[in-house]
Amino acid sequence: MLRATHFPPIASPTLLVLRKCFIPILSVSSFPSYPLHNLSSFSAFHSFFSPSRPSLASLSLTQFSPMLGHPHLRLSASFNSESSYGDSREILVQHLLLKEDDQKLLLELQQRIAGGEDLSDLAVEYSICPSKQEGGMLGWVRKGQMVPEFEEAAFCAPLNKVVKCKTNFGWHLLQVLSEREESLLKDIQPEEFHAKMQDPSFIEEAQLIDVREPEEVSQASLPGFRVLPLCQFGSWGPEITSKFDPTKDTYVLCHHGMRSLQVAKWLQTQGFRKIFNISGGIHAYATKVDPSVPTY
């Protein structure tokens, strides 16, 4: 049985919380003035392992999931604007995880699947991964996000065929439901962005998002940008795919390029196909391209 969550984009607040492994975890130290509860919406794992919601710094992406633990994005983070991946595919994966010593149950479930039962239904009942709440759905993944054994099995698996693999977490029964070309996420230099801005059709066709706070925007801004303050993520995040078209080129701006990079990574998980992070933010734009834009 295919569940609604098998097919992104994710749009509801509930699914934003349950999307297990793909929303970048923001470093609290990067935004010391932001209340923790505002940032917790970005955490892929908040509330899974403790009813008291552990801090972002204590969360681990590798306790149960085959996804690699993504390091916190820090102020010193860099992004290669020319990077590319060896495999251009993204795959939509669901899985069921059992303990290593549950060989008897593993065999039983394989037989039940061969008899026509659905992996997602069995995951709800038997999986020890937190993704069981969504029928074992891990969402769209690309190479480099998963532990090697799981990645090899998933990217070699025929569509819709349930295959088995073993990792240090235990035994996995996994199924690839769909595949697509990998989305693009890259830095764009202020000079290149400025050149694009000179074309009137660019502002009309591209989607421009400024994630700075209102008081920052009041000091300096660029034309055509829609302001989505990061501290208000809880209000605009769940509606992002209804307010913006994931198929259009999307440009993200902040003060120095760090908050925008984190939001750009998150947009990628929501199905946006081409996302550009404006390198150095509005500060670099003002100092390198247009001195008439105030700095602060």
Measuring CA to CA, which residue among 241, 251, 236, 242 is closest to residue 206?
251
* Rounded Cα distance, 128 and 123, in Å: 8
Do the beta carbons of residue 182 and residue 89 sit within 8 Å? Answer: yes
Length of the chain: 296
Do the beta carbons of residue 95 and residue 88 sit within 8 Å? Answer: no
Which of 21, 129, 165, 254 is the catalytic position?
Answer: 254
Per-residue HEC secondary structure of the chain comes to CCCHHHCCCCCCHHHHHHCCCCCCCECHHHCCCCCHHHHHHHCCCCCCCCCCCCCHHHCCCCCCCCECCCCCECCCCCCCCCCCCCCCEEEEEEEEEECCCCHHHHHHHHHHHHCCCCHHHHHHHHCCCHHHHHCCEEEEECCCCECHHHHHHHHHCCCCCEEEEEECCEEEEEEEEEEEECCEEEEECHHHHHHHHCCHHHHHHCEEEECCCHHHHCCCCCCCCEECCHHHHHHHHHHHHHHCCCCCEEEEECCCCHHHHHHHHHHHHCCCCEEEEECCHHHHHHHHCCCCCCCC
Measuring CA to CA, which residue among 179, 105, 101, 175 is closest to residue 135?
175
Tell me if residue 21 is catalytic.
no
Active site residues: 254
